């Protein structure tokens, strides 16, 4: 009977787990096994687990804790197991609880005695803490690359539409004209901070728990610097109790993902609004829309709606894990096994959301004429009029605001734009006004005048987009 088969028989309560069978006469009940087992999800850690074990075994041999011959056997065995798992030929056993014991049991099955020496000076507690940090680190690297790609897509589109006017909103009411490029570049800044948060998280998590053992460290003469370096960590963790029990790195990661998901949710909501028939600011192709089973005219932005919603899962994962960790006494407790599923689920959701946004941003076609029309509606250049009164007539801003307000009221009553009022009508409100004022009332002049740092003037937008494209390794020219 193979070790795995033997473990599966244990499900009837007939046999003790081979990993701690010395102390246990009977096996767990089926319910115990179900609640205890994590192999259903933590098999996702197999690459990290094998990498951790290879580093640990190499260190055990170098320090003379195991023989070079045993280490060579372990290396061969783990490499073969990795190939088995990659090829889908590995049978995961629930009786063996988790990925760590599945791999270790298989190793002993394949190479015998040497395999049983691998767990010297190690516990699953430092093992899982190490594997999970490695997994989160890899996930950060993947999401970072995706976020960079989305930033490139946004910057490209922004450069293309650096001077395309659109209405800028506050309270979702037309406020002042901006450019479509400027609007897109706002999300580039948000994503840059998201990447910064992920990079901070990565920097702080990059310490190696391996060698903390169960909770107190070990009496074996291990070399923690060697394993830390082999696994790409900056250094070993400093306190064994902290190392095996905290999961703040996962919480930081989930909070960074929650904020990222919030940004993507906002972008998606805007795409939903822009695609709606009354707005019709952009069009998404068939590649990013779906039809309706009953209304033939429909073209629904489902991808955008789903990204808008994904924050529910992602921030849910954060709150879920925070709640798991709250009140846990030091050091390791089985509660922390609940750390993985929320992190895996949030990672999948974030990766899919980034991919969908990337696709939509590259796909969308802005209706620039329509945006231009609405950019000039709703008295959007009223602030430009008030600013002219301040700049040219030296009125105090508050007074200029009142004069402008009365002119807006008049235009509204007559059902015309500010630029359609006559000079005489304007002068009736403020005698000093000259015909020059009409030059600041167009959408183009308004946008071009916003040259303050970070403002919407096309020259600014072009410079920002080009700067980001260069920084992201995809120069504009
Ligand atoms: N599957 C466990 C987890 O994810 C591994 C650590 C188990 N340690 C223990 N002492 N039972 O946390």
**Tokens 């900056």 found at:** 234
Q: How far is the centre of ligand 1, averaged over its atoms, from the C-alpha of 101 (Å)?
A: 10
The Cα 202–Cα 268 span in angstroms is: 27
Residue 6 has pLDDT above 70, yes or no: no
Distance from chain centroid for Cα 69:
44
Residue 251 has pLDDT above 80, yes or no: yes
Average pLDDT over residues 38-60: 98
Mutational test site, ligand 1, from 44, 96, 128, 339, max ligand atoms within 8 Å of CB: 128
The reply to whether ligand 1 has any atom less than 6 angstroms from the CB of 124 is yes
Q: How far is the centre of ligand 1, averaged over its atoms, from the C-alpha of 104 (Å)?
A: 14
Instruction: Identify the helix (H) or strand (E) that includes residue 91.
Output: none
Catalytic residues, by residue number, are 171, 292
The reply to whether ligand 1 has any atom less than 6 angstroms from the CB of 337 is yes
Mutational test site, ligand 1, from 48, 95, 125, 129, max ligand atoms within 8 Å of CB: 125
**Can you say whether the dihedral through the CA atoms of 129, 134, 139, 144 is positive or negative?**
positive
The Cα 59–Cα 26 span in angstroms is: 35
**Mean pLDDT (the chain, rounded):** 94
Structure tokens at 66: 């195991």
Which atom of ligand 1 is nearest to 99's Cα? 1
The residue whose C-alpha atom lies closest to atom 1 belonging to ligand 1 is 98
What is the dihedral angle through the alpha carbons of 247, 250, 255, 259, rounded to the nearest 10 degrees? 170
Q: How far is the centre of ligand 1, averaged over its atoms, from the C-alpha of 255 (Å)?
A: 24
The Cα 204–Cα 238 span in angstroms is: 13
The residue whose C-alpha atom lies closest to atom 2 belonging to ligand 1 is 337
Phi, psi (degrees; rounded to nearest 5) at 420 = -90, -5
Residue 292 pLDDT class (50, 70, 90 cuts): confident
Residue 296 pLDDT class (50, 70, 90 cuts): confident
* Closest C-alpha to 182, from 202, 201, 163, 195: 163
State pTM to two decimals: 0.92
**Which residues share a beta bridge with 170?**
173
The reply to whether ligand 1 has any atom less than 6 angstroms from the CB of 339 is no
């Amino acid at each position: 009977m193979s070790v795995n088969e033997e473990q599966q028989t244990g499900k009837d309560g007939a046999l003790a787990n081979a990993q701690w069978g010395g102390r246990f006469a009977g096996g767990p009940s089926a319910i115990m096994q179900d609640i205890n087992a994590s192999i259903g999800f933590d098999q996702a850690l197999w690459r990290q687990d094998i990498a951790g074990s290879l580093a640990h075994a190499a260190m055990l041999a170098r320090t003379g804790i195991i023989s070079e011959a045993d280490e060579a056997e372990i290396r061969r065995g783990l490499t073969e197991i990795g190939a088995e798992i990659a090829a889908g030929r590995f049978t995961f056993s629930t009786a063996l609880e988790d990925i760590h014991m599945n791999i270790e049991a298989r190793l002993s099955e394949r190479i015998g005695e040497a395999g049983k020496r691998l767990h010297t000076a190690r516990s699953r507690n430092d093992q899982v803490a190490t594997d999970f940090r490695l997994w989160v680190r890899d996930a950060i690297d993947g999401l970072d690359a995706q976020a960079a790609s989305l930033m490139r897509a946004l910057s490209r589109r922004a450069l293309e539409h650096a001077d395309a006017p659109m209405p800028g909103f506050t309270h979702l009411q037309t406020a002042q004209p901006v450019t479509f490029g400027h609007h897109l570049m706002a999300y580039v800044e948000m994503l840059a901070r998201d990447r910064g948060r992920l990079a901070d998280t990565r920097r702080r998590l990059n310490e190696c728990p391996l060698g903390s053992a169960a909770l107190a460290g070990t009496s074996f003469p291990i070399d923690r610097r060697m394993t830390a370096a082999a696994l790409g960590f900056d250094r070993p963790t400093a306190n064994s109790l902290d190392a095996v029990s905290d999961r703040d790195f996962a919480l930081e990661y989930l909070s960074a993902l929650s904020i990222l998901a919030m940004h993507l949710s906002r972008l998606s909501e805007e795409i939903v609004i822009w695609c709606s028939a009354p707005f019709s600011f952009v069009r998404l192709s068939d590649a990013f829309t779906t039809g309706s089973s009953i209304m033939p005219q429909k073209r629904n932005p489902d991808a955008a709606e789903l990204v808008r919603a994904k924050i529910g899962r992602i921030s849910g994962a954060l709150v879920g894990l925070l709640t798991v960790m709250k009140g846990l006494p030091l050091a390791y407790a089985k509660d922390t096994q609940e750390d993985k599923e929320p992190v895996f689920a949030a990672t999948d959701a974030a990766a899919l959301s980034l991919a969908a946004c990337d696709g939509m941003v590259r796909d969308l076609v802005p209706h620039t004429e329509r945006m231009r029309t609405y950019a000039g509606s709703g008295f959007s250049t009223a602030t430009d009029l008030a600013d002219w009164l301040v700049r040219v007539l030296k009125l105090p801003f508050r007074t200029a605001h009142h004069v402008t307000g009365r002119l807006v009221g008049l235009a509204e009553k007559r059902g015309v734009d500010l630029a359609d009022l006559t000079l005489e009508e304007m002068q009736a409100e403020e005698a000093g006004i000259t015909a020059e004022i009409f030059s600041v009332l167009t959408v183009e002049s308004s946008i071009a005048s916003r040259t303050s740092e970070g403002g919407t003037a096309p020259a600014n937008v072009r410079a920002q987009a080009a700067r980001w494209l260069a920084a992201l390794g995809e120069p504009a020219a």
